[in-house]
Amino acid sequence: MLRYLKLYKPYDVLCQFTDTAERSTLKDYVDLPGVYSVGRLDRDSEGLLLLTNDGSLAHELTDPRYAHPRTYWVQVEGVPTEDALTDLRKGVRLNDGLTLPTEVLRLPEEPNLPPRSVPVRFRKTVPTSWIELTLREGRNRQVRRMTAAVGFPTLRLVRAFIGPITLESLQSGQWQDLSPNELKSLRASIRTNRTRRGPRR
Count of Cβ atoms closer than 10 Å to residue 51 Cβ: 22
Separation CA 135–CA 25 (nearest Å): 25
Contact of 67 with 41, CB cutoff 8 Å: no
Separation CA 51–CA 58 (nearest Å): 8
Positions marked active-site: 42
Q: What is the CA angle 160-167-146, rounded to 5? A: 15
Strands 93-94 and 175-177: unpaired
- Residue 13 three-state SS: coil
